[in-house]
Amino acid sequence: MYQTGEFTYQNNMVNNNTAVWIKRCVEEDTGSLSIDVIKLATFEEETWKYDTDKRTSLRNAWKRINVPIVTINDMVDQIVEFDVNNIPVTYVGDIRYNIIPDIFEPDAIVDVLGTQRVPLFAGDYIWKTAKDKIVTVERKQLENGELLTCLFHARGVHAKGNLENTLTTQCKKMDQIADIKFLLIEMGNFQVNSASGYIDLPRYSRWNAKKQAYSTEWSYKWVDVQKRLTSLADRWGVKVWYTYDGAYTVDDLEQIRKYLNKPTHSSETAISKPVIVTDVESYNSKVQSLCFIEGFGPKISDKALKHFGTLRTAALANEAEWLSVEGIGKKLATSAYEYFNNDYGDK
């Protein structure tokens, strides 16, 4: 479904360009310039020095890539590819205002974001909030089995010699560099067997050794998936965000960025971790979405969805309409209304 940015990545490697985040610029008494940068592929910090002649080359390079630099502070928070001589060659974006994607993110998402791919040390997307917090987002797909593979298949060995799954490794890396970490899950087309609880992915079959045949049913239960996600949320502080599929990913990334940039909001607990839904017969992704409202569990969420019919109707409901839902009192009604209006809407 997606095409990766592998070609862009290969070009960057051939050209030996390095994507960096410019953190600080200081003009010395001697007239030289010091620039503190972070290499995004490794998140290592370096300080580059520019004498008078090299400052001229730097100034001309900014003009070539059409970036208006009036003062040295205009360079701060810019994401730029530099050559081996530490001269800018390609402008990527501003980490305060742009969502920066990893090199392997799909064209369908990157083209809409309007920023160039760069190699990232951790996560598939990175940006900085208005409160100077670093945000990373790791994107996983469920319908093609990627999430299940990353959650249950071990890859790599940590210090104690035990195997750990890929997603744990990725969350640990995000925790090293980011203040706020998200796991964005594209749900897509999947089902849960109401009798066994196992996940069925209609669009993706794999070899089932037990049945000795290809099957779309995987040997993992949805409840176990959520338990592992909850474990990651508890251990590494990762916030889990569900979206339907890739068509909604850009909108959700922007929604997260807007949410985190608000000067004040009621609580981040509404999106802090997934709620385990054990009733697989009534489970669907819309019920799971309502579980992110503070104080809402799967039973209340299921009742609310049945009452309103659609998520859109629920999102547009006022407090009085929320109060008409069976089992919802004043506190939960206020929580639901604020979730859709204060946290995600414009004030």
CATH assignment of the domain containing 337: 1.10.150.20
Reported as a pLDDT band with limits 50, 70 and 90, residue 215 is confident
- Same-domain status, 257 and 131: yes
- Same-domain status, 165 and 38: no
Q: Give the pLDDT score at 223.
A: 84
**Mean pLDDT to the nearest integer, 186-201:** 84
**Mean pLDDT to the nearest integer, 51-76:** 90
Which CATH number fits the domain that encloses residue 161? 3.40.50.10130
- Same-domain status, 170 and 252: yes
Whether the predicted pLDDT of 336 surpasses 80: yes
Reported as a pLDDT band with limits 50, 70 and 90, residue 50 is very high
**Mean pLDDT to the nearest integer, 48-65:** 92
Residue 13 covered by a domain: yes
Residue 225 covered by a domain: yes
Q: Tell me how far apart the alpha carbons of residues 116 and 102 are, in angstroms, rounded to a whole number.
A: 9
Residue 266 covered by a domain: no
- Same-domain status, 169 and 54: no
Total tally of structural domains belonging to the chain: 3
- Same-domain status, 172 and 253: yes
- Same-domain status, 250 and 334: no
Residue 101 covered by a domain: no
- Same-domain status, 171 and 72: no
- Same-domain status, 87 and 133: no
Residue 83 covered by a domain: yes
Q: Give the pLDDT score at 267.
A: 40
Domain with 194, as residue range(s), is 122-261
Whether the predicted pLDDT of 3 surpasses 70: no
Whether the predicted pLDDT of 313 surpasses 90: no
- Same-domain status, 255 and 301: no
- Same-domain status, 136 and 80: no
Q: Give the pLDDT score at 154.
A: 61
3-state secondary structure string, the chain?
CCCCCHHHHHHHHHHCCEEEEEEEEEECCCCCEEEEEEECCCCEEEEEEECHHHHHHHHHHHHHCCCCCCCHHHHCCEEEEECCCCCEEEEEEECCCCCEEECCCCHHHHHHHCCCCECCCCCCEEEECCCCCEEEEEEEECCCCHHHHHHHCEEEECCCCCEEEHHHHHHHHHHHHCCEEEEEEECCCCEECCCCCEEECCCCCEEECCCCEEECEEEEEHHHHHHHHHHHHHHHCEEEEEECCHHHHHHHHHHHHHHHHCCCCCCCHHHCCCCCCCCCCCCCHHHHHHCCCCCCCHHHHHHHHHHHCCHHHHHHCCHHHHHCCCCCCHHHHHHHHHHHHCCCCCC
Residue 37 covered by a domain: yes
Whether the predicted pLDDT of 45 surpasses 70: yes
pLDDT tens across 218-254, in order? Answer: 888 888 888 888 888 888 889 888 888 788 899 999 9
